[in-house]
Amino acid sequence: MSLNSPWNYIAANTVNFTQAWTTNTNAEMGIVQTKPGDKQMGYRERVVGQERGSISTAGPFADCTGFGGDNRVYTMPCVAGWPYQMMNFDWDSMALPLKANGEATGTKLMAWGSPFGWLGASDADLFDFSGTVDARGDRSYATFIVLGPHCRFAASVCNQDGDVAIAIKAVEALGAATIGGVGPGALVTQVPRGPGATQTKTIVNGYNDTYAAYYLSAATNRVAFTFTPVLNKPVKNPVFVIQNWTLAEIPVVSVGGATVMINDGTDGSGAFVSYNQTTSELWITLNRTLTVATAIGVSP
């Protein structure tokens, strides 16, 4: 990438993420938020310039001469005006020696950002300016840190999703799946706002984005429910956290009416289970991909 690189800011997205890759090898890195549709993170447009919904060939766009003392002319958005810190600062107008507009970056830098006022303001703007949110008190968000190939091969052509695209689809699927028919037990609707937080937040369908896991509460150490992914949004290796579990022993887990093998020491185990005695939480990771409504039960 250089300051003269083209850009495309047209595609809509439901998951906040940053992504960068190298042309030297098939590799990329990214940060993907675990909560889809979060209007409290990210920016409606770039800090300088109205690029959202546009493409570089439709310019000219922002005038950067009055922003950070940058009087250069280039194709990319203003160097000092990106909402997320990436390799744009390779061309910082205050850095010497000054990198030429057409000189490619070798920087491997990526950072996360949040809107002005997200920490502490009583009326921070939502992403689309559809309203405001009280940003006081406990604040947190969670992300996946993604490292992997930029594309995968099919018939000798590298045209399949890379790891960032896979992570984005996984988050969309996690947020879209529903849990119904709960009994015994119940869905958890209130969880801490983040690790160590004292204030709580409301969650839907038991999905706690802090840990990308589904939370339920057991009744006399039993819980049963139906997990339903959305069509064409499979959920791979879902994690279920069962609260109010008081037995420090391996439980019986059934999926689709069949009991699965637990912690058998191989990657072929049907589920991986651990118990947090301090919090009375049973953590269960199913070692499979769910594509249709599936009955799941947990008992002593």
Integer Cα distance of 19 and 165 in angstroms: 9
Q: Which of 42-56, 167-181, 220-234, 237-251 has the lowest mean pLDDT?
A: 42-56
- CATH 1.20.120 fits domain 177-299: no
Determine the pLDDT at residue 85. 78
Q: How confident is the model at residue 87 (pLDDT cuts 50, 70, 90)?
A: confident
Say yes or no to pLDDT of 187 above 90. yes
Angle ∠(59,65,71) on CA atoms, nearest 5: 95
Distance CA 146, CA 138 (A): 26
| Per-residue confidence (pLDDT) for residue 239, from 0 to 100 | 98
Q: How many CA atoms within 13 Å lie on the side-chain side of 120?
A: 1
Going from the C-alpha of 274 to that of each of 8, 138, 241, the distances in angstroms are: 45, 28, 10
* pLDDT tens for each residue of 44-79: 666 555 567 888 888 777 677 777 677 888 888 888
Please enumerate in sequence order all residues whose Cβ is within 8 A of that of 210, keeping only pairs 6 or more positions apart, or say none: 34, 140, 142, 191, 192, 193, 194, 195
| Mean pLDDT, range 170-195, rounded to an integer | 97
Is there a contact between 281 and 241 (Cβ–Cβ < 8 Å)? yes
User: Which residues face 132 on adjacent strands?
Assistant: 125
Q: How many helices (H) and strands (E) does the chain have?
A: 1, 22
Does position 41 have pLDDT exceeding 60, yes or no?
Answer: yes
**pLDDT score at 46:** 61
* Backbone phi, psi, residue 80, to 5°: -85, 5
Question: What is the pLDDT averaged over residues 128-141?
Answer: 90
Average pLDDT over residues 144-161: 95
Which is more confidently placed, 67 or 86?
Answer: 86
Q: Quick one: pLDDT at residue 128?
A: 77
pLDDT of residue 48: 59
Across the chain, mean pLDDT equals: 90
pLDDT at residue 186 greater than cutoff 90: yes
- Which of 156, 157, 163, 131 has its CA nearest to residue 27? 163
Closest CA to 33 of 162, 164, 196: 164
| CB-count exposure of residue 39 (10 Å: 0-12, 13-18, 19+) | middle
Distant-in-sequence, close-in-space partners of 106: CB < 8 Å, separation ≥ 6: 90
Mean pLDDT for the stretch of residues 239-247: 98
The residues with which 271 forms a beta bridge, in sequence order, are 262, 286
Q: What is the DSSP string of 162-222?
A: -HHHHHHHHHHHHHH-EEE---SSEE--EEESSTT-SSEEE-STTEETTTTEEEEE-SSS-
Query: Which among 297, 296, 293, 295 has a CA at the least distance from the CA of 229?
Result: 293
Q: What's the per-residue H, E or C state across 206-259?
A: CEECCCCEEEEECCCCCEEEEEECCCCCCEECCEEEEECCCCCCCCEEEECCEE
Copy the structure tokens of residue 26: 């098939």
CA-wise closest residue to 191 among 177, 181, 206: 206
Q: Which of 99-108, 126-135, 183-192 has the highest mean pLDDT?
A: 183-192
Q: pLDDT category, 96, cuts 50, 70, 90?
A: confident
Confidence grade of residue 33 (pLDDT, cut at 50, 70, 90): very high
Mean pLDDT, to the nearest integer, of 2-9?
Answer: 88
| Domain boundaries, given as residue ranges, for the chain | 177-299
